[in-house]
Amino acid sequence: MKVLKLIGKQNTSTIMIEKGILKEAAELCRTTCMEMGPSQICMITDTNVAGLYLKELEHRLSELKLPIFHHMIRAGEEHKTLETVAGIYDTLSNHQFGRDDMIIALGGGVTGDIAGYVAATYLRGIRHLVQIPTTLLAQVDSSVGGKTGVDLPQGKNLVGAFRQPDLVLIDPEVLTSLPEKDYHSGMAEIIKYGCISDPELLELVLEVEDNKRITELIERCIRIKIKVVEADETEGGLRRILNFGHTIGHGVEKLGNYTKLSHGEAVAIGMAAAVKMGESIGITKDGCFERLIPILQAFGLPTALTEPVEEVYEAMLTDKKKQGDSIHFVFIEEFGKTQMKKIPAVELKKMMKVLGD
């Protein structure tokens, strides 16, 4: 079993990775995050994951001899809203859920972001938070690092809080039930880590057959994320490199009403765009675009804008990465080396001309 630690300012996250680890969930919760003795557990999951893993996990956790109840949210990014959060607050309050109790997020990035936000805000913060990510994307990215939040009609993740989970249990076995589209969406974030920090990943992703090396890939991504988050937990600087591909990505994701494209598909488009723009202005080494495209395509990921440039630009402007009239944009100089630039919005618009009409 791989055990990694992320030392945050407020608390430390223990991250454990191993196939089949969920069978030991009760024992691992007991040994890593039961201090201050929670008196009950609320599991938050979505309508798809519930049918697959909820019952078994509740059964495993019954060894803790604590009351367990669950709140099921509707699956899909379009439900990552304050309304969903309010529904969970209702459930918690109906159960007289207390500050020392425990929230367990069981699901993909949407469930994790919502449950994390609830844990950060209900009663001004719940003491125990466990993330059990069930999508590849959540396993390599969203479950680690403590960013939580929900979307507003104006844009993605516009409301949120930082809250490191106490424990993250990553079981690559649950990925066997993941639809291919979602698996590929997670691959986009792995490719992102390859672009910004670990170019070898760009070769490894193409060698992953039948999930055999997936545990290794997950671990490598998490190690990068831990390093970046420990250096800049609240995204004042370095952490922004994790947003590579996300500025334009969020624009296209929004234009598709968060349903047309998966998060990873949107990020794939955003990464291809960032590399193309970078090459056109001489920041990115020539040839990167040509190398990146077939890697993304190997996972069926889109690489070109799905909507007119002008519309993507407008959609991007409501993204919170904009500051005043400037946007922090992440380029790569070459694979493994980023360059962050604060660009006036109008200039960015000009740079985007290379992406089409």
Ligand X SMILES: NC(=O)c1ccc[n+]([C@@H]2O[C@H](COP(=O)([O-])OP(=O)(O)OC[C@H]3O[C@@H](n4cnc5c(N)ncnc54)[C@H](O)[C@@H]3O)[C@@H](O)[C@H]2O)c1
What residue ranges bind ligand X (CB under 6 A)?
Answer: 46, 48-49, 52, 75-77, 80, 107-111, 113, 134-135, 137-138, 141-142, 145, 147, 156-157, 174, 177-178, 182, 185, 262-263
- Which tokens hold the place of 293? 């495209």
Q: What angle do CA 107, 109, 228 make, to 5 degrees?
A: 130
Q: How far is the CB of 141 from ligand X (least distance, A)?
A: 4
Q: How far is the CB of 35 from ligand X (least distance, A)?
A: 25
Nearer to ligand X, 48 or 197 (CB): 48
Q: How far is the CB of 88 from ligand X (least distance, A)?
A: 15
Decide: helix, strand or coil at residue 75: coil
Nearer to ligand X, 211 or 280 (CB): 211
Q: How far is the CB of 227 from ligand X (least distance, A)?
A: 15
Decide: helix, strand or coil at residue 304: coil
Task: Tell me, rounded to whole angstroms, the distance of Cα 162 from its chain centroid.
Answer: 13
Nearer to ligand X, 6 or 283 (CB): 6
Q: How far is the CB of 14 from ligand X (least distance, A)?
A: 18
The residues, ordered by sequence, that sit 6+ positions from 290 with a Cβ below 8 Å of its Cβ are: none
Nearer to ligand X, 134 or 197 (CB): 134
Distance CA 97, CA 318 (A): 36
Which residues in 233-242 are b (16+ Cβ under 10 Å) and which e?
A: bebeeebbbb
Q: Could you report how far apart the first and last alpha carbons of the chain are, in Å?
A: 50
Distance CA 64, CA 20 (A): 19
Decide: helix, strand or coil at residue 310: helix
Q: How far is the CB of 65 from ligand X (least distance, A)?
A: 27
Nearer to ligand X, 182 or 198 (CB): 182
Please state, in angstroms and as integers, the Cα–Cα distance from residue 271 to each residue in 13, 241, 333, following that order. 29, 12, 13
Nearer to ligand X, 129 or 351 (CB): 129
